[in-house]
Amino acid sequence: IQVGANEGRDDDPIRPYLLKYPWRGVLIEPQPEVFERLKENYAGLESRLSFENVAISSNTAPLQLYRLPPGATPSDSIVSFDPKIIAKQSGMKPQDMVAISVPTARLDDIILKHQLTKVDVLQLDTEGYDWVVLQTLDLTKSRPLLIRFEQGHLSPKAIGTMIQHLNQHDYLVYYGGYESDSLALRKDFILP
């Protein structure tokens, strides 16, 4: 499962594996126009890839996200629930961000909908929302072998709480630092 799949291009950490190996999965992207480009970029792989045009949230109400105005650079395809995060990345002002409302779902519900009996990899790239997203997954039922998450936009308190939660569910967390993603590996995957 990839949450925040964006267009499935450029520096996407999952794309090379989806193209090279017969991986099956669900790619989740909340922005309607970016979602359409994501599906185009994986055209021909629909027999093993499913796509969801939602934001992951604990609440089923629509979620307000913020993004750059159309045509802005460097990329108009990044979004966040916090306009300050996008402004910081782009060098623009928070008040210049455009709000969009998107439908939501819980990760547990996505897993049920697609009848996934096993999730090996969970990739999170949600611009400061990774901890909220992870909380919508019951780690006593779905136990990915690897969870990769972006912690650069999380507060130290959120990072600590997220790591404690993962540790309590038998994950070892390898902190990637501010500019890199972190990995949570299930203990039974790496220890005998």
Residues 92-115: b if buried by 16+ CB within 10 A, e if exposed: beeeebeebebebbbbeebbeeee
How many other CB atoms are found less than 10 A from the CB of residue 43?
Answer: 7
Spacing of C-alpha 56 from chain mean position: 8
Q: Residue 162 pLDDT > 90, yes or no?
A: yes
pLDDT of res. 182 = 92
Instruction: Evaluate if pTM is beyond 0.85.
Output: yes
Per the structure block, which two tokens stand in for 178? Answer: 């501010």
Q: Residue 179 pLDDT > 70, yes or no?
A: no
Q: What is the pLDDT of residues 85-144, one digit of tens each?
A: 888 888 888 888 889 999 999 999 999 999 999 999 999 998 889 999 999 999 999 999
Q: Are 142 and 96 in contact (CB under 8 A)?
A: no
Q: What is the pLDDT of residues 37-61, one digit of tens each?
A: 999 999 999 999 999 999 999 988 9
Q: What are the phi and psi torsion angles at 79 (to 5°)?
A: -135, 160
pLDDT of res. 9 = 87
